[in-house]
Structure 1
């Protein structure tokens, strides 16, 4: 299980990680409840015009604070690694593997791969030398775990059914975080059926899909998190079925 570093705007410019070996992600957790005030103070000098418009469009103050804090952290950490001022980092979208549209995996012009996820007050950032995806999820209620859990891989559905009722929400959250981290890494997202890939609901993930390493990330109580990194030299999958 990976241990993320807690991001603090006061020292975020120190850099991302000393290790950029393919397959070894650098992970940062961002708590908007703790660091939202300083991040919002820094935001006008860091976020670009599009990010500031999006931040201003949130109705709920908590959602706006989470977005601003996460994107301030993202730009500070990317800038530190790329040798740029945070506002100078150019964020782009790769082509979507499904339709070719400009809404695939987020990227930079500097060849650094990253991924961002948020849930509640928490955001999780991943950086790697290869395509990477990350996800953090609040553990859902029993009803959501049951309804959405039925959409998972048949083996995962069986695993959930064998658990006690009180254990299922946490197990479901583990499986969902692993699956979404992988799909975000591919740039596919939920366009790919949840039933295609078996990543498991237990305390240890199943081996990742071919060409990917999937691992859990240590998260606060009430959350589950995971990261997926593409193995060097492997090609991304598309929407066809895999033999899982």
Structure 2
């Protein structure tokens, strides 16, 4: 099977197969049917809105994986990998993946959330060593003093120096989404200081337009593949 990159956005409290009017109780019921114990335990420790976003995202990710693999969502077992915690049945965070009958499935996955939306990226039949990262950002959350100094390289700060208002917030968010997508791809996360990573023209990262991602226009997103 040829490798294919699939990007999909899910609105707040929606996962594939849900009716638009399905309640939060319905979301929790479906999570109880399909998600792992470790995922459910993690959700219980969250405040209600964060819990709902988390459950919707994990359900959407599992159902997208099942769709692309042509299997039942309930037959997949989550397999997360964290640089610090390793991989195992008790790990519910880090790089997502699944197994089928104990065998890792040929699928790379990445997930990001912003403003209640979940953005999923999946790469089918990846080549050995390939990695994937995706990120979505709300420009309004980038509006705080000192952002440029702690998040942008000198070249990036120069690139945004003449921007003001909405244009400045959107460009900051665009650069931050590119950084997050790249650092998810490499597995470094924010252990690498973001002000040392220049993403203006870094190979392997591209912006995702709303027409491709399915996100509303006010959000910005990026995907990294390498």
1 CA distance for matches of 2:131 and 2:69? 17
Gaps of 5+ in 1: 1-18, 201-205, 231-244
2 CA distance for matches of 1:142 and 1:207? 22
Q: Where do 1:36-47 residues align within 5 Å?
A: 37=23, 38-47=26-35
Aligned length: 198
Offset of residue 88 of structure 1 = 3.0
CA spacing shift, 1:196–1:20, aligned 2, 3 Å: farther
Which residue of structure 1 aligns with residue 95 of structure 2? 105
Which residue of structure 1 aligns with residue 147 of structure 2? 148
Which residue of structure 2 aligns with residue 221 of structure 1? 217
Q: 2:181 matched to 1:181?
A: yes
2 CA distance for matches of 1:44 and 1:58? 16
Q: 2:44 matched to 1:52?
A: no
2 CA distance for matches of 1:225 and 1:48? 28
Q: 2:17 matched to 1:27?
A: no
2 CA distance for matches of 1:104 and 1:69? 17
SS of 2:113's partner is: strand
Q: 2:115 matched to 1:127?
A: no
Map Cα deviations across residues 203-227 of structure 1 (whole Å, 9 max, x no partner).
xxx242xxx2433242313311111
Offset of residue 72 of structure 1 = 0.8
SS of 2:194's partner is: coil
2 CA distance for matches of 1:141 and 1:55? 23
2 CA distance for matches of 1:105 and 1:142? 25
Normalised to the residue count of structure 2, the TM-score between the two structures is 0.77
Normalised to the residue count of structure 1, the TM-score between the two structures is 0.72
Cα RMSD, aligned residues only: 2.4
